[in-house]
Amino acid sequence: MDSIRLQNQPLDVVAAIAAVTCPEAGGINLFLGTTRAESGGGGGGDTNSGGAPQLLALDYEAYEPMALAEMHKLLAHARSTWPITRAIIWHRLGRVAIGESSILIALSCPHRAESFEACRYLIDELKKSVPIWKKEIFTDAARWQMEK
């Protein structure tokens, strides 16, 4: 029972844990990627604090058919490597404010080591290969970049 999706709504951690919980799983792993407060920008304008421009939010976009296809491929490869019993990969699109989650990966395996390894693989590979872009919105500027 897998769930892979791109969505504009906030990610529901409680629902994700419930969906990957099963009697055969001794290890459940959850990765939650959140928008962190940081300085940067680069426009040199208003900083509201006299220092470096502050990140306000991230805007995510994706080429959805290709992104979903790549996410399914990643999960299929992970399933061929680790004994995953259930898995979820959910990624936000649109505006994600500081402190909000942009990606949720939850999975269960018979043992904890497998669960950790599979979850780490999925987030690392997703960021390398899935066509999802983020626009960093700073107090003085904005810039696009591929997910990393």
What pTM was estimated for this model as a whole?
A: 0.87
Question: How many CB atoms are located within 10 Å of the residue 58 CB?
Answer: 22
The 10s digit of each residue's pLDDT in 89-116 is 999 999 999 999 999 999 999 999 999 9
Structure tokens at 41: 């920008």
Residue 68 CB contacts under 8 Å (≥ 6 apart), including other chains = 4, 5, 6
**CA–CA gap between residue 58 and residue 118 (Å, rounded):** 27
Q: Give the pLDDT score at 88.
A: 98
Determine whether 98 is exposed, middle or buried from the number of CB atoms within 10 Å of its CB (0-12, 13-18, 19+).
middle
Strand order, beta sheet including 2-7:
2-7, 86-92, 101-109, 27-34
Q: What is the pLDDT of residue 21?
A: 98
Q: How many CB atoms lie within 10 A of CB 66?
A: 12
Model pLDDT for residues 64-85, shown as the tens digit of each residue: 999 999 999 999 999 999 999 9
Give the separation between CA 52 and CA 141, rounded to whole angstroms: 11
Ranges assigned E (strand) in the chain: 2-7, 27-34, 55-62, 86-92, 94-97, 101-109, 132-138, 142-146
Position 40: which residue type?
G
Instruction: Decide which of 3.90.1170.40, 3.40.50.740, 2.60.130.10, 2.60.120.260 is the CATH code for 2-39+53-146.
Output: 3.90.1170.40
